[in-house]
Amino acid sequence: MHRFANPTRFLRLAAAVLPFSAAVAALCLGAGLVWGLFFAPPDYQQGDTVRIMFIHVPAAMMAMGVYAGMAISSAIALIWRHAIADLIAKASAPIGATFCFICLLTGSLWGKPMWGTWWVWDARLTSMLIMLFIYLGYMALWQAFDDQTKAARAAAILALVGAINLPVIKFSVEWWNTLHQPASLITMDGPKIHSSLLWPLLLMIVGFGAYYLTVLIFRVRAEVHQRRTRMLRMAQADRHAAMQAAE
């Protein structure tokens, strides 16, 4: 694992992976889009609104998946002081938050024709909203520190505390939801996914995963370069100070 802690080596690996992940993302998302919008049959219950699922469900899955990845890399960063794991966690957060937001937005747009209102405090939507708050808190904590090493460790602790808490939150929200669910509402558990809808959904999920990897590589690359700039500047400032002291 420490082989990839070296930024240069990591950048080389990332550059090798990038074309593949970008190609997979473009192909799968493109094919999923065409299939989902044009060829997949409308659901017998939900009609054409089921096409929203092809973007809603992958976004929800990846929002959770990205958090899991963020928590794992935070643990690696804390335990082994791994230099790149920090940056992977940091770079993941805006991507996960975007997925969260897409999931909420499409959920709302799906809810309007299905439930008759733009927002229902459905267990899954509510958990996703809380997850978005946790992502935002994590990103804000990174921003709050000047010292990047401290920011990295604080954010890693928060990511892990959040990871422990998220299942509890999810469970409690589900419990709360069963208490308050009015019987007249249709729940989103509804659609039994027909196999003709499964393939475009699968394509979209793979596409979202590859998209995450692609964007992650760009963002980690940006972080590596920014860190190098900071270190060079610090070295220059030190040298400058030393020269002034000598005079």
Per CB under 8 A, residues contacting another protein are 29, 33, 37-38, 42, 47-49, 51-52, 55-56, 59, 78, 94-95, 98, 101-102, 105-106, 109-110, 112-113, 130, 133-134, 136-137, 140-141, 144-145, 150, 153-154, 157-158, 160-162, 164-165, 168-169, 171-173, 175-176, 179, 211, 214-215, 218-219, 221-226, 228-229, 232-233, 235-236, 239
Residue whose structure tokens are 């509402």: 185
d(CA 135, CA 142): 11
What three-state secondary structure class fits 47?
Answer: strand
* Count of beta carbons in the 10 Å neighbourhood of residue 132: 19
Token pair belonging to 183: 């019987």
CB of 2 to another protein, least distance (A): 19
Give residues with Cβ within 8 angstroms of 137, minimum separation 6.
158
CB of 188 to another protein, least distance (A): 14
CB of 58 to another protein, least distance (A): 10
Q: Cα separations (Å) of 105 from 39, 57, 67, 101?
A: 24, 12, 19, 6
Judge residue 164's burial from the number of C-beta atoms within 10 Å of its C-beta, 0-12 exposed, 13-18 middle, 19 or more buried.
exposed
CB of 232 to another protein, least distance (A): 4
- Asked if residue 38 lies in contact with residue 237, where contact means CB atoms within 8 angstroms, the answer is no
How far from chain centre, in Å, is Cα 216?
10
CB of 187 to another protein, least distance (A): 18
* Residue number with CB closer to another protein (187 or 226): 226
47 DSSP β-pair partners: 43
CB of 161 to another protein, least distance (A): 5
Largest CA distance in the chain: 83
